[in-house]
Chains A and B, each alone.
Chain A
């Protein structure tokens, strides 16, 4: 009898527990969605606001994103898009030193002319005296030259697109929550993809025969920099659309666009004259050239739709009539650089390749090296070292023996947390 009572007591405990469990209202699944995406976010600003923002030398800071790189003497200038320019003392390429930072709001490109550094700041062009890289001074602001940013020139407002990583979080919700949110998110994805196309709207700078040439999506702009510390805007020439890169060689300018390569004669620097346009499929394409040949990489990507991944060799002995000689299959070619008869091609996550280019019809048989352990985006064959910009490093190689690159140093770009 006693035993029975005990058992029933046990069972009543179990039953109570069972009821408790069933009554436990939190037996609901929950889900929290986080959507992170790249987007170009339009930001509106007044010209007066921009001009009141701090500009100039600051303490050195960590490089968190790389843009264009420029070598001048023993110094390396690394543009951090929209933020400013890092100055690296590269006297010893095996041990580069980050020495200072020039704050330039809205900068995406730079060029240096005899101790004067030119950088864009959204709508303005700024000139800095860098004769002492430890003490950089702004010497000139040329106002209202990159008019393409303006949305309302009378009032003085302009708009730029900020390359942003957006995160939207839908707080924890129980099932039965707003399902339409998912569709909203999918829509914003498409939106982001669409506006992302604006990402290419970066000005590109180059100096040639006393003139500073800049390109943005549509135009080539000229600045007379014969008075170095006081650049003067001369004029702009419409180029079409999708302009991406500008490469000077002797008295020619090679301008890479989404749809082809433009060759301009700048023997009269103030009057660039179009010689030819070589068209190809829509792709992204940096260009390098020597006297006889131009090397163009075309790559596919979400932005460069329908593209293909090739390295093209063009005969430019007659610059008014470039001819495609051969195209070589590549994996994901980005920037490239030519040093004498050595061609270096960045293959994105697939590494870095080097070729001998004496025989342009047989480049594939003359590949010297393929470094795979680097994510290479762009490079500069500098006087002391080959500088390779990766997505999270800036590495320098001794390329005195171009078939056997020797790693000198790598600067890490701010540690990233990967998934």
Chain B
């Protein structure tokens, strides 16, 4: 499980590094930022049904309607705080005061912010967050955004009972553990966010 997670992490990190390396070389492309604040809401949530979310997208405007970059921030689920590490895309088009905005973030939710002990730990997982919304032009360069979307986040919570005497072991239970409980949460949430885009 960890191995798979680590592999994914490396792939995402490598892509991000490659992307930014490329972007440094292509200095002519304008930098864009989309910072949002909002909630992740479910009809029937586990525990508290809404989670606070803050995220920031940093990217480059690669053509008149598409921005590609990297998204991070914090999602405060009641189970754990998740640090999203995702590749992001933002697209908008038109010249009106209100422009349609579509975005997509795909990556991993990391549990770096959570305390890890020998008997309790968390493991993040895949995150997927497509949204759709509107951008409102203001007098300055900044635009305001309102987006609605769907966010899927996988998170596993482990709690274990140690047994130092347990030296025989098995694929599913590490040595030194008497038992291990894994709760694999799949958060299916509606994301509702307000933000600024420039």
List chain B residues, Cβ under 8 A from A25.
43
Known: A377-B167, A391-B169. A28 touches B183 (CB 8 A): no
Say which residue of B98, B158, B176, B185 sits within 8 Å of A31 (CB atoms): B185
Q: Is A193 an interface residue (CB 8 A)?
A: yes
Q: Is A373 an interface residue (CB 8 A)?
A: no
A175 touching B164 by the CB < 8 A rule?
A: no
* Interface members, chain A 33-55 (any B CB < 8 Å): 33-38
List chain B residues, Cβ under 8 A from A3.
96
B96 touching A24 by the CB < 8 A rule?
A: no
List chain B residues, Cβ under 8 A from A24.
150, 190
List chain B residues, Cβ under 8 A from A14.
100, 132-134, 148
Q: Is B97 an interface residue (CB 8 A)?
A: yes
List chain B residues, Cβ under 8 A from A172.
186
Q: Is B165 an interface residue (CB 8 A)?
A: yes
Q: Is A176 an interface residue (CB 8 A)?
A: yes
List chain A residues, Cβ under 8 A from B30.
none
List chain B residues, Cβ under 8 A from A38.
163, 166, 173, 178-179
List chain A residues, Cβ under 8 A from B164.
301, 332, 348-349
| A319–B53 alpha-carbon span in the complex (Å) | 73
Q: Is A303 an interface residue (CB 8 A)?
A: yes
Q: Is B138 an interface residue (CB 8 A)?
A: no
Q: Is B170 an interface residue (CB 8 A)?
A: yes
Known: A7-B96, A10-B134. A37 touches B171 (CB 8 A): no
Q: Is A419 an interface residue (CB 8 A)?
A: yes
B148 touching A28 by the CB < 8 A rule?
A: no
B181 touching A192 by the CB < 8 A rule?
A: no
Task: Mark contacts of B88-117 with chain A using CB atoms, 8 A cut-off: 1 yes-contact digit, 0 otherwise.
Answer: 000000001111100000000000000000
A30 touching B188 by the CB < 8 A rule?
A: yes
| A27–B166 alpha-carbon span in the complex (Å) | 42
A33 touching B183 by the CB < 8 A rule?
A: yes
A27 touching B182 by the CB < 8 A rule?
A: no
Task: Mark contacts of A171-205 with chain B using CB atoms, 8 A cut-off: 1 yes-contact digit, 0 otherwise.
Answer: 01011100000000100010011001000000000
B96 touching A10 by the CB < 8 A rule?
A: yes
Task: From B43, B46, B165, B189, name the one whose CB has the most chain A CB atoms within 10 angstroms.
Answer: B165
For residue A360, give the distance in angstroms from its CB to the closest CB of chain B: 27
Interface size class of chain B, counting residues whose CB lies under 8 Å from the partner chain: 35 or more
Known: A10-B134, A24-B190, A301-B165. A165 touches B175 (CB 8 A): no
A29 touching B172 by the CB < 8 A rule?
A: no
Known: A17-B132, A392-B169. A419 touches B2 (CB 8 A): yes
| A189–B174 alpha-carbon span in the complex (Å) | 17
* Interface members, chain B 1-43 (any A CB < 8 Å): 1-3, 41-43
Known: A22-B190, A27-B150, A31-B184. A163 touches B168 (CB 8 A): yes
Say which residue of A27, A35, A303 sits within 8 Å of B189 (CB atoms): A27
B45 touching A175 by the CB < 8 A rule?
A: yes
Say which residue of B42, B44, B174, B181 sits within 8 Å of A418 (CB atoms): B174
List chain B residues, Cβ under 8 A from A366.
none
Q: Is B195 an interface residue (CB 8 A)?
A: no
B44 touching A174 by the CB < 8 A rule?
A: yes
B173 touching A37 by the CB < 8 A rule?
A: yes
| A163–B166 alpha-carbon span in the complex (Å) | 11
Overall SS of chain B's interface: strand
B41 touching A27 by the CB < 8 A rule?
A: yes
Q: Is A304 an interface residue (CB 8 A)?
A: yes
List chain A residues, Cβ under 8 A from B45.
28-29, 175
For residue B83, give the distance in angstroms from its CB to the closest CB of chain A: 19
Task: Mark contacts of A282-318 with chain B using CB atoms, 8 A cut-off: 1 yes-contact digit, 0 otherwise.
Answer: 0010000000000000010111100000000000000
Count residues on chain A whose CB falls below 8 Å from chain B CBs: 58
Q: Is B149 an interface residue (CB 8 A)?
A: yes
Closest A residue to B134 by CB, please name it.
Answer: A14
Q: Is A417 an interface residue (CB 8 A)?
A: yes
List chain B residues, Cβ under 8 A from A21.
148-150, 190
Q: Is B180 an interface residue (CB 8 A)?
A: yes
Known: A7-B96, A10-B98, A419-B2. A28 touches B43 (CB 8 A): yes
List chain B residues, Cβ under 8 A from A11.
98, 134
B98 touching A35 by the CB < 8 A rule?
A: no
Q: Is A92 an interface residue (CB 8 A)?
A: no
* Interface members, chain B 131-176 (any A CB < 8 Å): 132-134, 148-150, 158, 161, 163-176
Q: Is A268 an interface residue (CB 8 A)?
A: no
Q: Is B187 an interface residue (CB 8 A)?
A: yes
Q: Is A13 an interface residue (CB 8 A)?
A: yes
List chain A residues, Cβ under 8 A from B97.
7
List chain A residues, Cβ under 8 A from B168.
65-66, 81, 163, 391
List chain B residues, Cβ under 8 A from A18.
148
Q: Is A401 an interface residue (CB 8 A)?
A: no
| A193–B99 alpha-carbon span in the complex (Å) | 62
For residue A46, give the distance in angstroms from its CB to the closest CB of chain B: 27
List chain A residues, Cβ under 8 A from B132.
14, 17
For residue B119, give the distance in angstroms from its CB to the closest CB of chain A: 11
Can you name 18 A-B residue pairings with CB atoms under 8 Å?
Answer: A10-B98, A10-B100, A21-B150, A28-B45, A29-B42, A32-B184, A33-B181, A36-B179, A37-B173, A174-B44, A175-B45, A176-B44, A302-B178, A303-B163, A377-B167, A416-B169, A419-B1, A419-B180
- Given A31-B186, A301-B164, 9 more A-B residue pairs with CB atoms under 8 Å apart are A14-B148, A24-B150, A25-B43, A29-B42, A29-B185, A29-B187, A174-B44, A416-B175, A419-B180
Chain B: residues with CB nearer than 8 A to chain A?
1-3, 41-46, 96-100, 132-134, 148-150, 158, 161, 163-176, 178-190
